[in-house]
Structure 1
Amino acid sequence: MENILKINSIIFLLLIGCGCSSLEKRPVIQDVKGEHKLTSDKIWLSHEHILVDFIGADSIQPDTWNHDSIIKEVIPYFEELKDFNVNYFVDATPNYLGRDVILLEKITKKTGVRIITNTGLYGARNNEFIPQYAHEMTAEDLAEMWINEYENGIDKTSIKPGFIKISVDNSDTLSTMHQKLVKAAALTHLKTGLTIASHTGNSKGLWPQLKILKENGVSPESFIWVHAQAEDNNDNYLKAAEMGCWISLDGIGWELEKHIEKILFAKRNGILNRILISHDSGWYDPQKEDQAIKPFTNIFKKLFPELKSQGFTDDELRLLISVNPSKAFSIEMRNTH
C-alpha cells in the first residue's frame, strides 16, 4: 500500500510538472505594461510609429525629447482610435531611430491602448541607424543584448519588448552586417520566442533572410515580411505564405489602391490568413518644428468600406485586424522541424 501511495505521489508531481510546462508554453503577448494571455478578439494596428528621429545613430539624443510636447501632439490621433475600439498598437520604431519606452508607457497610461515595443537594430539606409559598437560585435553578442532586454527590461526599466525589429537593405545578397542582424534575430527568437519583423521591401531581400533563419533552425512562421506591399509579383506572396511567412501590407496610411488589389489577390488565392495590414502612420519628428503626423484611421474609414463593397465578410475583416496579428505577435517558439 505504501508503495502504491508513493507511485501515485510521483505521478501527481509529474502531472503538475507537465501542467506547469504546458502553461509556460502557451502563447502570450508582451506590451509595455506587461505580459498577458493571447486572445484573438481584439483590434490591432500592427505597424505604426509614434516618434521617429532620422538624425542617425551617432547623433541621436533621446534625452532632449520633450515628452509633454510629443504627447500633446500625438494624443488627438489616439483619441480618434476610440471610435474603432483599437486595443493594440505596435510601435515599430527601433532603437537608435526613436524608440522611447518611457514615452510609450506614458501614452498607454493616458489612452488605455496597449502599446508593444521592440528590441533589435535597423540596418536599412546603409547602416545609418546602426551604432558603432554593433559593427564590432558578433551575432551572438547582439543576441545576448536583445535577450537581456526581453528578460530584464529596456534601458534600466521593467518594460520589455514584444517583438524583434530589424531591417536590411533590399538585395538578394545581404551585406555582412545585415546577415549578422538576421542571425542575431534568429538566436534571440530561439531563446525568447519573440517574433521577428524585418523591414524588407520587395521579395529580393526576403529569401536570403529566410535562408539564414532556416540555417539556425527558426521557422518562417516566426517572421513578418515588413513592407511587402512593395513587391510587384504577387506570386511571391503565394511562395512566402506557403513557407509560413507573415506578409505585412503596412503602408495604408500612405496609399490605398495597391493594398486593396493585393488583399483581393490574397483572398482569391486562399492566403488571407497570412496577411497583416497597418498604416505605417504617425511619425512625430523631433528634428522638425512643424509636425505632419498621419492619422491611424484609414483602415476603418477607407479600406474596410471598400473591402465590404467587394464582398468581404465581417469574419474576413476580423481575420485581418484581429486574428492574424494576435497570432503573428504571440510569443512562442517556432522552430523548424
Structure 2
Amino acid sequence: MQSRREFLQSCLATPFLLNNLHYSDEKIITVLGEVTAAQLGPTLIHEHILVDFIGADKISSNRWEHSQVISKVLPYLAEIKTRGIKTVVECTPAFIGRDVLLLEKISTQSGINILTNTGYYGASDNKYLPSWAFTETAGQLAKRWISEFVNGIEGSKIRPGFIKIGVNPGALSPIHQKLVKAAALTHLETGLTICSHTGPSIPAFEQIELLKKEGVHPSVFVWVHANSGDSNDFIKAAKMGAWISLDGISEDSLTKNAATIHLLKTENLLDKVLISHDAGWYKPGEENGGEFRGFTTISDQLIPLLKTKGFTKADLDQLMIKNPVQMLSIRVRKT
C-alpha cells in the first residue's frame, strides 16, 4: 500500500504547483474560472448536458457536434435563468461524455455558471472505466486527477470543480475501493468535494468509512442518488457530516422528496441536504440528441410545495444557495 508520503514524492515528477494556487475557502471553480461564494447563487447540484453510454473503449467527442448540442440545450438553460438559477453542476464524468470545451461554450453563451469534474465512474460494472483504471494504483489514479486540477483537463485550461466517482449498489469491490481511495488522495491535495454515484446505503457507509481511514472527513462525501436509501440511513449519514443528495426530483417524485426534505428539516439537518433533477441528457446517436428533460421542476413545483409545508425563504436559501456553496467551496477537510 502506497503511503501518503510516497504518493506526494511520486507527484514531484510532474509540474504540480499547488503552493502557487491561491484561493480562499469561499472559492468555487467553474469552467470559466474561479468564482466567489456570492457569485454562485441558486444552484442545481446534479444535472447533465450530454451523456454518451457507448462505453469507455468506444467513446469519442467526434460522436457529437458542439453546434447541435448548444442549439438543443440553450433554451433549457434560458428557462432556468428566468427563474433565478445561476449555477449548474454538470455531473457527466470522463469517458461518459464529459466535454469541457462544450461546457465552456455553453456557459459563455447562456450566462450560467457550469462546473465540471475529475474522477472515474465505476458503476454499471466498470463499463465506463479506462483500461488503466484496472492496473494503476490509487496513488497513480489520484495523480492523474490532481494533474487535471493543477494543469487543466485534456490540454485545456479548464479545471474541475469537484470529484465524480461511481460505485455499484452492493458492497464495494476492490476496484471501487481503489476509486474511493484515489478520490480521498485527490481531495487531500486539492480540497475538491467527492460526489459519488452511490444509491443504496451499504456502499454509502462503506465509502464514508474508507474516506475516514484515509483521513478525510465525511463532510467531503456527497451521497449521490441518496433517494435510493432509507430515511433512517439519511439521518445517520447526515449526522456524521455527509451530504444527502436528493438529485432525482421529477414530477413523479415530488411528494416523496418533499417528505424526505421535511423530515431532514425536523431533524435539524436541512444544512446537509442537496437537491437537483439529474435531468438533461443530450444523447449522441439518437435523433436530435433524443429526449431532453428540462431543469424547472424544482423551481416551478417543488419549492411551491415546500412553502405549503412551512418552509421559509431562509430554508429555501439554505437548500438552493448556502448548501451548494458549502459543498463546492475548495478546502481540505480532514478527520
Q: Name the structure 1 match of 2:133.
A: 134
Q: Name the structure 2 match of 1:272.
A: 270
Is 1:106 the counterpart of 2:105 in the alignment? yes
- What displacement does 1:203 show? 1.0
- Secondary structure of the residue that 1:86 maps to in structure 2? coil
Unaligned stretches of 5+ residues in structure 2: 1-18
Task: Provide closer, same or farther for how the CA distance between residues 68 and 41 of structure 1 changes in structure 2, counting only shifts above 3 A.
Answer: closer
- What displacement does 1:36 show? 2.6
Question: Counterparts of 1:217 and 1:31 in 2: how far apart (Å)?
Answer: 27
- What displacement does 1:161 show? 0.1
Question: Counterparts of 2:73 and 2:212 in 1: how far apart (Å)?
Answer: 40
Q: Name the structure 1 match of 2:245.
A: 248
Q: Name the structure 2 match of 1:282.
A: 280
Deviation readout 1:279-321 (Å, 9 max, x if unpaired): 1000000021152100100001010111111111111011101
Question: Counterparts of 2:25 and 2:254 in 1: how far apart (Å)?
Answer: 36
Deviation readout 1:200-259 (Å, 9 max, x if unpaired): 00211111101110110000011100000111x211111111110000000013632221
Give the aligned residue type for 1:71. Answer: I
Is 1:262 the counterpart of 2:260 in the alignment? yes
Give the aligned residue type for 1:80. Answer: E
Question: Counterparts of 1:188 and 1:67 in 2: how far apart (Å)?
Answer: 30
Task: Out of 23-32 and 108-117, give the one that drifted further.
Answer: 23-32
Give the aligned residue type for 2:82. Answer: D
Match of 1:237 among 222, 234, 238: 234
Question: Counterparts of 1:247 and 1:122 in 2: how far apart (Å)?
Answer: 19
Superposition map of 1:46-195 within 5 A: 46-171=45-170, 173-195=171-193
Question: Counterparts of 2:329 and 2:40 in 1: how far apart (Å)?
Answer: 14
Q: Name the structure 2 match of 1:7.
A: none
Calculate percent identity across the aligned residue pairs: 47
Q: Name the structure 1 match of 2:9.
A: none
Question: Counterparts of 1:129 and 1:42 in 2: how far apart (Å)?
Answer: 32
Give the aligned residue type for 1:243. Answer: M
Runs of 4+ deviating beyond 4 Å? none
Q: Name the structure 2 match of 1:330.
A: 329
- What displacement does 1:87 show? 1.1
Unaligned stretches of 5+ residues in structure 1: 1-19
Q: Name the structure 1 match of 2:205.
A: 207
- Secondary structure of the residue that 2:253 maps to in structure 1? coil
- Contact preservation (8 Å) 1:50, 1:91: yes
Q: Name the structure 1 match of 2:217.
A: 219
Q: Name the structure 1 match of 2:297.
A: 298
- Secondary structure of the residue that 1:115 maps to in structure 2? strand
Q: CA RMSD in A?
A: 1.5
- Contact preservation (8 Å) 1:40, 1:326: no
Question: Counterparts of 2:207 and 2:39 in 1: how far apart (Å)?
Answer: 28
- What displacement does 1:63 show? 2.4
- What displacement does 1:25 show? 4.6
- Contact preservation (8 Å) 1:195, 1:222: yes
- Contact preservation (8 Å) 1:162, 1:329: yes
Superposition map of 1:312-327 within 5 A: 312-327=311-326
- Contact preservation (8 Å) 2:63, 2:285: no
Question: Counterparts of 2:25 and 2:201 in 1: how far apart (Å)?
Answer: 32
- Contact preservation (8 Å) 2:226, 2:246: yes
Q: Name the structure 2 match of 1:29.
A: 28
- Secondary structure of the residue that 2:287 maps to in structure 1? coil
Give the aligned residue type for 1:280. Answer: D
Q: Name the structure 2 match of 1:17.
A: none
- What displacement does 1:24 show? 4.5
Question: Counterparts of 1:289 and 1:121 in 2: how far apart (Å)?
Answer: 28
- What displacement does 1:268 show? 1.4
- Secondary structure of the residue that 2:205 maps to in structure 1? helix
- Secondary structure of the residue that 1:325 maps to in structure 2? helix
Question: Counterparts of 2:92 and 2:140 in 1: how far apart (Å)?
Answer: 22
Q: Name the structure 2 match of 1:15.
A: none
The two structures have a TM-score, normalised by structure 2, of: 0.91
Question: Counterparts of 2:255 and 2:286 in 1: how far apart (Å)?
Answer: 30
- Secondary structure of the residue that 2:302 maps to in structure 1? helix
- What displacement does 1:41 show? 7.0
Q: Name the structure 1 match of 2:195.
A: 197
